Amino acid sequence: MSPPMRVAGSDTREAMATPTVRAAAFGAAFASAPGWAAAIVAPPAWDAHLAMDERVAPWFAVALIISGVISATLAWRRGPETGAAALPGDAAQPYRIPPGFGALLMLMFLSVVAIASADEVLVAMLLPLIPALSGWAAGQAARLAAGACVPSVLPAASGIVVAFALAGVFGGLHLARAGTGGGARDAGWWAIAYAAGAAINMIRARTSLDLDRKRIRARAAMAAKQAEPVRHPGSGEPVLVMERMDLRFGANHVLREATMTVGAGELVALVGGNGAGKSTLLRVAAGLVTPGSGRILLDGDDVTTLRPEERSAAGLAFVSGARPVFPDLTVLENLRVAAYRSHQTQKSFEQATDAILALAPTLQGRRRAKAGVLSGGEQRLLAVAQTLYRTPVALLADELTLGLDLDARLAVLDLLRVLADRGVAVVAVDHDLPSLLPRADRAALLTEGGVVLYPEAAALLEQRQDLLPATFLAGAGL
């Protein structure tokens, strides 16, 4: 499966959305502050306590900054975890202690020495060590960020960490004022606080690194596919697999080892009583809710750790009946928004749009109409059409017909049936079971948190009278 097209700024947004990168960036900001402070206060301290020539001291301060930069660069470049080398597999051993932790401990130790001694001469002699230690810790934070990102995002992640490290100069100004105004003791206490803040963020970054690497490997496995497998409509080839999904909301155990498989060209009706967790299961599959345990496979790839937009790019579409379109935009503008990542040229967009609207003829003549003036059924058809630009292999439909009249409900459900006949694996949750079940290949009953499969979907209501309350709203409109 080819990687999705990227737009300006998407690398930076993706890097900032990665927990390891965010924590590493803040760690770099805290760690670099003592180094900036040491470089700022070094010249007057040496002039006052070590009798250094005032013309030479500033050059030594520049040398201290350079030493911090060199130290950060060496920490960034050292070891196999830097860059793309760490991304594909499990060869790199996970850190038991966050990298740079030794430098942070040394920084806190020096601060304790300065506090205990209150000797200005000793403090002036210790100042040359601090920028190198701060730089080393900041460089190791950059290593953590690099190990959590796919290669295409590495420059953005590196830029974020560097920007935060440079932003540490504001903390350095605060430390410098504390040192020159209150002496070594006040500066030492603040230096310990900054180093502790850096250590906390480094621990947070290390804690999230393993999960972020799993997400990277899942993306790399999908990108490595050279060709899509050939599917035949109705073949039942497994496309979407939810294995042993478990989820709790407080004391409420919503999903209990729920397992479900949907094949290519198959429409599965997910049914159950009100509050059984049907919509929740779809949101878990789409990545909108994080389960306590379980695994989700899409077309053979493990997408459990992927974010919703990454699952969408991989071919998993999710559409809900709750406010599904932009009412102030026209039909064509709504479709353009949906296609901006996958069809960037006007020609490809027009070709795809013609093919998609052929599936929903009622929208053909309403391209210039505002989506807000469309009927409820037309808005739901438009919502489904928006998901088709990325040619999804699986589609999750959550209560698309709620509140619609009978004709509109049938039009929406007929479109889901057409998509299934074209090879898409469709899972539908809907209150109108008398209309949905005859169009479904199978039914999956969600009860007591688990899934029970029924191969004869149309006969389910006759077998399970306890589902009748779930059809009350739909039945009222029949």
The tens place of each residue's pLDDT in the chain, 478 residues long, gives 344 445 555 678 888 888 899 999 999 999 988 888 888 777 766 665 555 656 666 677 787 788 888 888 888 776 444 443 343 334 444 446 677 778 888 878 777 777 667 666 666 777 778 888 888 888 888 888 888 887 778 888 888 998 999 998 898 888 888 777 767 777 788 888 988 999 999 889 888 888 888 877 777 666 655 344 444 444 556 889 999 888 888 888 888 888 899 988 899 999 887 778 888 899 999 989 888 888 899 888 888 888 888 888 888 999 988 767 888 999 999 888 888 777 777 888 888 888 888 888 888 888 889 988 888 888 999 999 998 988 889 999 998 888 888 888 999 999 999 999 988 999 999 888 888 888 888 888 888 778 888 777 766 766 665 565 544 444 444 3
Cα distances from 112 to residues 86, 107, 161, 201, 254, in angstroms, run 37, 9, 28, 21, 51
* Residue 158: closest CA among 28, 297, 277: 28
Provide the greatest CA pair distance for the chain: 96
Q: Pseudo-torsion of CA 82, 85, 88, 91, nearest 10°?
A: -90
Q: For residues 241 and 176, is the Cβ–Cβ distance under 8 A?
A: no
Q: For the full predicted model, state whether its pTM sits above 0.75.
A: no
Q: State whether residue 359 is helix, strand or coil.
A: coil
Strands 316-320 and 267-271: unpaired
Please count the CA atoms within 13 angstroms of the CA of 75 that sit on its side-chain side.
27
Residue 365, number of CB atoms within 10 A of its CB = 10
